[in-house]
Structure 1
Amino acid sequence: MKIVPNRIIIILVVFFLQQTNVFAASGPPPPSSPPPPPGLPLDAGLFLLVIASLCYGIYKLNRIKNIKKASN
């Protein structure tokens, strides 16, 4: 059986066309950046929270003091 040169050329052309498809393929898209953190202000309610906690602490201390006085 004799190999025909036309078949070799066709095989080589198909082989090289397949290689160009591999090199022409694009990569995956770049990853998206994470969303920015929410801008929640902590300063506004923090002062009120400190004042409320001090008032509650004073209330509890006075209550304990009054209970001890009453039991004596």
Structure 2
Amino acid sequence: MNTVPKRVLIILVVFFLEQTNVFAAPEPPPPSTPPPPPGLPLDGALYILVMLSVCYGIYKLNQIKSIKKASN
């Protein structure tokens, strides 16, 4: 008769020790990564962009001049 209360006591102790995990706080979420920088920098090939725009402008001006000469 002595072993039954020991078993009950052991079962109760294990049951109450397992309940402490239920009340534990969850881990906080990992910190978020910073957002990427907006757009790309215009540093390396800016002179190429300027040269292409100047060439395109000259091309369009020559087209307009040739159309005016053809209509006269």
Q: TM-score, normalised by structure 2?
A: 0.54
Taking a change above 3 Å as real, the CA distance of residues 27 and 53 of structure 1, as seen in their structure-2 partners, is same
Query: Percent same amino acid among aligned pairs?
Result: 76
- 2:60 aligns with 60
Question: 2:16, 2:10 → 1: CA distance?
Answer: 10
CA RMSD of aligned residues (A): 3.4
How many pairs does the alignment contain?
67
Matches within 5 A, 1:1-72: 5-6=5-6, 8-23=8-23, 27=27, 30-31=30-31, 33=33, 41-72=41-72
Where 2:44 maps in the other structure, the secondary structure is: helix
Using the TM superposition, name which of 24-33 and 50-59 deviates more: 24-33
CA shift digits 1:7-53 (9 cap, x unpaired): 5523421221211344568736625635865xx54122123212321
Q: Name structure 1 gaps, 5 residues minimum.
A: none
Q: TM-score, normalised by structure 1?
A: 0.54
Taking a change above 3 Å as real, the CA distance of residues 57 and 28 of structure 1, as seen in their structure-2 partners, is same
Q: Name structure 2 gaps, 5 residues minimum.
A: none
**Structure in which a larger fraction of residues adopt helix:** 1
